[in-house]
């Protein structure tokens, strides 16, 4: 199964082959998990949503017409589920949402960096995390897909069911907001 292409696996999975679907799930689970975690910042919710994404994908696989790539279709399910969840969560204002410290952190910190510089970088990273988190979902979603997941504007547009130009404008606005929020730190660092 490992040698099979995504399309071949999709065809097999559509015929009810569980092994093929497991292989597909294995290929995408890490990316899907990371994307959802970028939104929720919470392991438990991410776990639930990732499971739900795969179960939903399995259920609606028969309706997948292969007009778009499986990767895009899969992401669309994950993003839609996550956005619905986040909107629901934001409505439950009174409820105490359990949140873990799953903020992103810099990888491979240079151990040879001076303590002052390291401290500045850490602060900027923390500020960046908060700034990204505070973006409205409309701008945060394409930002996560393009910057964190490395998608092109066309791929992100396909996932979000909008035009490439819309993605481009939202990316521009998201960056403008981030720049305004981090201006002091950027110029100071």
Q: Which residues bind other proteins (CB under 8 A)?
A: 16, 18, 21-22, 25-26, 29-30, 33-34, 37-38, 47, 50-51, 54-55, 58-59, 102, 104-107, 124-125, 128-129, 132, 146-148, 152-153, 168-169, 171-172, 175-176, 178-179, 182-183, 186-187, 189
- The residue among 109, 110, 49 whose CA lies nearest residue 80 is 49
Report the residue number, 82 or 92, with the smaller CB distance to other proteins.
Answer: 82
**What is the nearest approach in angstroms of other proteins to the Cβ of residue 135?**
11
**What is the nearest approach in angstroms of other proteins to the Cβ of residue 16?**
8
Report the residue number, 83 or 147, with the smaller CB distance to other proteins.
Answer: 147
Long-range contacts of 58-67 (CB under 8 A, 24+ apart): 58/13, 58/21, 61/10, 61/13, 61/14, 61/21, 62/14, 64/10, 64/14, 66/7, 66/10
Report the residue number, 162 or 182, with the smaller CB distance to other proteins.
Answer: 182
- The residue among 58, 89, 85, 90 whose CA lies nearest residue 74 is 58
**What is the nearest approach in angstroms of other proteins to the Cβ of residue 94?**
29
Query: Could you give the CA distance from residue 133 to residue 41 in angstroms, rounded to a whole number?
Result: 9
Q: How many residues does the chain have?
A: 189
Report the residue number, 73 or 153, with the smaller CB distance to other proteins.
Answer: 153
């Amino acid at each position: 199964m490992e040698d099979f292409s995504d399309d071949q696996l999709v065809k097999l999975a559509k015929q009810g082959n569980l092994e093929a679907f497991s292989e597909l799930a294995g290929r995408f689970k890490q990316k899907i998990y990371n994307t959802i975690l970028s939104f929720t910042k919470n392991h438990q919710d991410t776990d639930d949503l990732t499971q739900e994404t795969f179960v939903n994908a399995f259920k609606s696989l028969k309706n997948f017409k292969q007009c778009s790539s499986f990767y895009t279709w899969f992401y669309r399910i994950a993003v839609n589920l996550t956005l619905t969840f986040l909107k629901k969560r934001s409505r439950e204002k009174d409820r105490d949402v359990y949140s873990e410290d799953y903020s992103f952190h810099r990888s491979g910190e240079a151990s040879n960096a001076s303590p002052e510089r390291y401290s500045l970088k850490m602060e900027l990273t923390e500020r960046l995390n908060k700034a990204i988190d505070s973006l409205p979902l409309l701008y945060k979603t394409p930002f996560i897909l393009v910057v964190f997941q490395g998608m092109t504007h066309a791929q992100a547009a396909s996932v979000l069911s909008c035009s490439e130009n819309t993605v481009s404008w939202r990316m521009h606005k998201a960056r403008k907001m981030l720049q305004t929020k981090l201006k002091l730190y950027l110029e100071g660092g």
